[in-house]
């Protein structure tokens, strides 16, 4: 490695080595491949092209050796110091590419038999590298002209067309691979919104949406032979890497709903969850045909504290409204719009009615309101919350009918019960509420109006965002 200018360094990597870079919150890293081959999280770099990264930890890996130039700058443009950059030869990439090869063999069989390809669930504890592994496997498949469905169930850090609290399904094609973003999203993803960043806030709602998403994914797969044989890559929340019975119930539900036949347990998850899954196969809660494999985690993983996680979550929501950080101020960036909508024409709903203990319920009552939609009266308490604009379950649930005041819907009788299983048309943030003047001020990633919204129903939860 040799220096070639202020803030610029040239790194020479040997075969099967990687350059690990930790980019701070107020730093920008520019990377350029000078010669050889290089990839970032499974996506190939083009020689001579500049790639920019902000507030992100990344690894530049090479199979045959390469020369890479890096430029680290502070927020004011002054050159930074490459203290947190180092080269490593102990990487898990060989294990990942071997796993990919095994999945490819299954896809080849699926093409011949016109059957389902591998449905892979990546399981891992906090900072185990599961999200990165899922991205690498999806990218490797797409590079071979497969079209796997990438399913992101990580409520805490979901992206790719969703915000925190979302379940996302996105078909991956080779043209979508992007070094800086992972996957660009020219196709409209399928998004459902739980309104929570943790499964335990309403596990029944989470399970319900997983089942609905699985049905939609299956319908699409059976209409597209290439998608069917390519299979699924499923990223999961860190909280599923536990042997707690309630957590395991959620995991089993995902496996059954999405017909998972391969579970990859990241090294940091430990032997306990691996042994637990094996025992579930013996108890027939998991199919015996499901392959459970332990995969090594990268030794270069950086443990993140709560403050860092909160910052990453906010940055992901910010990307939804403003576009990726590297495109700010360019023609590829987004220009979010503030606009006023008539408050009385909109209905705020929340999943989960009033929860009563069994002792407080009427004798003989077995009503469970965890999947019941309740109407929320507009107030200042809703400011800064992210709202999901729901697609209507029927044509009559949209704006085709006469608008109804949210306040007059307090009982919730006019809310279609099937709305709880509807997918999302898009997200907005509540900037201000003026009940007296019947005005709702929102921030949206593009201009919109009452007539262009998919429906009048706005689903809220606990996710907030301030621009």
Which tens digits make up the pLDDT trace of 173-183?
A: 999 999 988 88
Q: What is the CATH number of the domain that holds 349?
A: 2.40.30.330
In sequence order, the β-bridge partners of residue 375 are: 349
Q: Does residue 208 surpass a pLDDT of 90? A: yes
pLDDT in tens, 132-166: 999 999 999 999 999 999 999 999 888 788 899 99
- How far is the C-alpha of 122 from the C-alpha of 430, rounded, in Å? 35
- pLDDT at site 368: 61
Report whether 45 contacts 60 (CB < 8 A). yes
Which pLDDT value is given to residue 441?
A: 95
359 pLDDT more than 60: no
Q: Is residue 323 part of a domain?
A: no
- On whether residue 28 sits in a domain, the answer given is yes
Identify whether residues 118 and 242 lie together within a single domain.
Answer: yes
Q: For residues 62 and 190, state if they share a domain.
A: no
CATH number for the domain that contains residue 28:
2.60.120.1030
Q: What is the pLDDT of residue 310?
A: 83
Contacts of 177 by beta carbon, 8 Å cutoff, 6+ apart:
43, 44, 139, 142, 143, 183, 184
Q: Which residues pair with 440 in a beta bridge?
A: 341, 433
Residue pointed to by tokens 């060989």: 94
pLDDT at 333 (0 to 100): 65
Q: Which of 90, 118, 143 is the last residue of a domain?
A: 90
Average pLDDT score over residue span 383-408? 61
Query: What DSSP string describes 152-178?
Result: E--TTS--TT--TTEEEEEE--GGGEE
Is the residue at 379 inside a domain? yes
Q: Which residues of 322-345 are buried (b: 16+ CB within 10 A; e: fewer)?
A: bbbbbbeeeeeeeebeeeebebbb
Q: Is 329 within the bounds of a domain?
A: no
The reply to whether 365 and 415 lie within a common domain is yes
124: in domain = yes
Contact call for residues 123 and 260 (beta carbons, < 8 A): no
Judgement on whether residues 53 and 200 belong to the same structural domain of the protein: no
Same domain, yes or no: 150 and 186: yes
Highest mean pLDDT among 17-21, 82-86, 277-281: 17-21
Average pLDDT for 321-334: 72
Kindly state whether residues 267 and 171 are assigned to the same domain.
Answer: yes
- With a CB cutoff of 8 Å and minimum separation 6, the contacts of 84 are 21, 22, 24
Q: Is residue 330 assigned to a domain?
A: no
Task: Give the range among 329-338, 381-390, 418-427 with minimum mean pLDDT.
Answer: 329-338
Tally of CA atoms within 13 A in the half-sphere of 250 that contains its CB: 26
Residue 79 shares a structural domain with residue 108: no
Evaluate whether residue 240 is within a structural domain.
yes
For residues 147 and 187, is the Cβ–Cβ distance under 8 A?
Answer: no
Quote the domain boundaries for residue 346: 337-464
The CA distance from 462 to 274, in Å, is 33
The DSSP bridge partners found for residue 92 are none
Q: Which of 90, 105, 121 is the last residue of a domain?
A: 90
pLDDT digits (tens, 9 = 90+) for 3-35: 445 678 999 999 999 999 988 888 889 999 999
Cα-based distances in Å from 306 to 150, 311, 315, 462: 27, 9, 14, 17
Give the pLDDT score at 400. Answer: 35
Question: Three-state SS for 11?
Answer: strand
Counted domains in the chain: 3
Q: Is residue 192 domain-shared with residue 215, that is, in the same domain?
A: yes
49 assigned to some structural domain: yes
Q: How many CA atoms lie within 13 A of 209 on its CB side?
A: 29
Among 30, 55, 90, identify where a domain stops: 90
């Amino acid at each position: 490695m040799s220096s070639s200018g202020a803030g610029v360094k040239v790194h020479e990597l040997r075969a099967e080595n990687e350059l690990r870079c930790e980019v701070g919150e107020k730093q920008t890293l520019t990377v350029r491949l000078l010669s050889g081959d290089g990839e970032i999280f499974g996506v190939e770099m083009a020689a001579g092209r500049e790639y920019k990264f902000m507030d992100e930890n990344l690894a530049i890996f090479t199979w045959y050796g390469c020369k890479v130039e890096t430029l680290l700058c502070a927020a004011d443009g002054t050159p930074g110091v490459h203290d947190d950059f180092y080269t490593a030869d102990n990487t898990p990439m060989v294990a990942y590419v071997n796993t990919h090869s095994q999945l490819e063999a299954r896809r080849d069989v699926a093409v011949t038999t016109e059957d389902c390809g591998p449905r892979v669930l990546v399981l891992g504890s906090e900072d185990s590298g599961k999200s990165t592994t899922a991205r690498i496997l999806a990218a490797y498949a797409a590079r071979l002209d497969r079209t796997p469905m990438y399913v992101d169930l990580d409520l805490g850090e979901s992206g790719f067309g969703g915000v925190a609290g979302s379940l996302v399904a996105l078909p991956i094609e080779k043209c979508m691979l992007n070094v800086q973003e992972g996957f660009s999203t020219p196709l409209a993803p399928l998004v459902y919104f739980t309104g929570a960043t943790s499964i335990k806030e309403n596990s029944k709602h989470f399970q319900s949406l997983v089942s609905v998403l699985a049905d939609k994914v299956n319908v699409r797969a059976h209409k597209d032979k290439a998608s069917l044989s390519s299979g699924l890559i499923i990223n999961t929340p860190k909280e599923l890497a536990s042997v707690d019975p309630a957590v395991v119930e959620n995991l089993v539900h995902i496996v059954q709903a999405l017909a998972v036949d391969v579970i990859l347990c990241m090294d940091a998850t430990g032997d306990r969850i691996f042994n637990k899954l094996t025992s579930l196969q013996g108890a027939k809660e998991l199919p015996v045909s499901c392959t459970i494999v332990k995969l090594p985690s990268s030794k270069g993983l950086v443990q993140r504290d709560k403050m860092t996680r909160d910052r990453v979550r906010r940055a992901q929501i910010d990307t939804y409204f403003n576009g990726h950080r590297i495109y700010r101020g360019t023609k590829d960036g987004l220009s979010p719009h503030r606009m006023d909508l008539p408050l009385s024409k909109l209905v705020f709903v929340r999943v989960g009615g009033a929860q009563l203990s069994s002792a407080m319920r009427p004798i003989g009552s077995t009503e469970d309101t965890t999947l019941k939609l309740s109407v929320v009266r507009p107030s200042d308490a809703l400011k800064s919350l992210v709202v999901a604009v729901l697609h209507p379950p029927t044509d009559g649930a949209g704006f085709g009918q006469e608008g109804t005041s949210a306040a007059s819907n307090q009982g919730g009788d006019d809310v279609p019960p099937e709305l709880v299983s509807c997918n999302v048309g898009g997200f907005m943030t509540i900037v201000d509420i003026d009940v007296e003047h019947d005005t709702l001020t929102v921030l949206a990633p593009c201009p919109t109006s009452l007539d262009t919204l998919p429906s009048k129903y706005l689903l809220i939860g606990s996710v907030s965002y301030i621009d």
